[in-house]
Amino acid sequence: MTEAYIYDAARSPRGKGRKDGSLHEVTSVALSAQMLNAIKERNNLPTTGIEDVIWGNVTQVMENGGCLARASVLLSDFDQSVPGLAINRFCASGMEAVNLVANQIKAGAGEAYIAGGVEMMSRVAMGSDGAAMAVDPRLAMGENFMPQGVSADLIATEYGFSREDCDSFAAQSQDRAAKAWEENRFAKSIVPVRDQNDLIILDRDEYMRPGTTAEDLNKLKASFKDMGEVMPGFDAVALMKYPHLEKINHVHHAGNSSGIVDGATALLIGSKEYGEKHGLTPRARIRATAKIGSEPTINLTGPVPVTEKILADSGMSISDIDLFEVNEAFAAVVLRFLQAFEVDDAKVNVNGGAIALGHPLGATGAMIIGTLLDELERSDKEVGLATLCVAAGMGAATIIERV
C-alpha cells in the first residue's frame, strides 16, 4: 500500500471572530486562496499535479456555499484543472479532509492533494445554516438533543470536573499559547494574512489573553446556566438521559470554552514518489485515521472512543504516543481525555489550544495536525495523535509519525 506523507502545513493567524476583528473584511474564499498560494509558493509546486483540494467548512451558506473549495482554487494561482471538494463533519471537517486525502493516496487514487479548511465566524455566523438535529422535533426529542455548551457542563458533572478544574485548565492554555508565541514555535506554519492591497493585516493569533489567571476566570458568569435551568430548560433533557445525576453543574463560560475566530489552514500531502519527483522532503507520514459515532446527548465525548479505536486498529497503545493535540472545544472535553487515559498533562496541547487561540470550526482539525507536526519536530519526538470531539456525537483522530 502507498504511504501518505505530509510535506508542508501552513495556517493563517486566528483573528477575533467579530466585526472588529482583523480578518473580518477578508472573505472566506480570499483567505482560503491565500493559504493555497502559500503552499504553492513555499514548495515551488506545479499545481497541475495536484489531484484535488479537499476543504473543510462547517457553515456552508452565503459566501461559504457553492463548493467553497472549488471557488478557492479558482481565486488562487492554482491551475484550473485542479478540482475542489467541500466537506462538513462539523468541528472535525479539516481533519476529515486530511484523513480522506491520506486514504485516497494509500488507495492509489492520485499522488498529491491539498487538505485543509476555513471558517470566517465574523462573516458567517455559527449555526446560520440551520440543523435538523435541533429543529426537527422527531430527531431532537428522539435523541434528547442538547446544545454543546450544556453538553460540556453535562460532561463536567458526569465525570466530576469542578469550575476550578476547568478554569485552571483554561489559564494553563493561555500560558502555554503565550509561551509558544514568545518562543516563535508557530513560525514554521504561520502565513501572514494580506488585504486586497497586499498589506499584512494579521501575523499573530489575536484572540489570546496572556496573563489570564484562574482567579480572573472565576469572576465570569457561567454561560449555559440559564439555557439549562430556565429557557428552554435543557437540564431537564440531560437528566432524562442521565437520571442518576441530581443536577447539572454549570461550569463553562467564555474563558474556558473555545474562542470564536476566523482562520484557515492547508496541508500538502502526497506519496513518496510525488515528493521525489518534485524535490520535496517529507516531514511525517500519516500512520492511521479514524472516526466514530458517540452518544449524541452528552455529545462531546468522542475523543475517548475514537482514540481507543485508532489505537486498536493500528495495534498501538496510548504509551506509544509521544504528544497529543486534543481540541479544546470546552475545558471538560480535554479533562475527560486526560482522565480516561491517565495521560501526562505535559504531553497534551503543549502550546495551548482553542481556549486560548480560538476554534475556526472548519479549519481546526487540520490546524492541530500542523501544530502537532511542528511540535514533534521542535521537541524531537516521533509519534503524535490529534483528535477532536464533533457535534451530534462523533469523534475523529489522526496519528502521524515523523520520517
Catalytic residues, which ones?
Answer: 91, 359, 389
Q: What is the dihedral of CA 216, 348, 289, 15, to 10 degrees?
A: 40
Query: What is the number of other CB atoms lying within 10 angstroms of the CB of residue 314?
Result: 14
Instruction: Give the separation between CA 224 and CA 147, rounded to whole angstroms.
Output: 9
Task: Write out 82-132 in H/E/C secondary structure.
Answer: CCEEEECECECHHHHHHHHHHHHHHCCCCCEEEEEEEEECCCCCCCCCCCH
For 102, the grid coordinates are 491520506
Three-state DSSP state, 221: coil
Query: What is the number of other CB atoms lying within 10 angstroms of the CB of residue 96?
Result: 28
**Which amino acid type is present at position 264?**
A
Bridge partners of residue 324, in order along the sequence: 348, 385
Instruction: Give the separation between CA 332 and CA 158, rounded to whole angstroms.
Output: 10
Strands (E), 161-277: 193-194, 200-202, 261-270
Classify strands 193-194 and 52-56 as parallel, antiparallel or unpaired.
unpaired
* CA nearest to 366, candidates 94, 111, 38: 94
Residues 6+ apart with CB under 8 A from 389: 91, 299, 300, 301, 302, 303, 327, 329, 333, 395
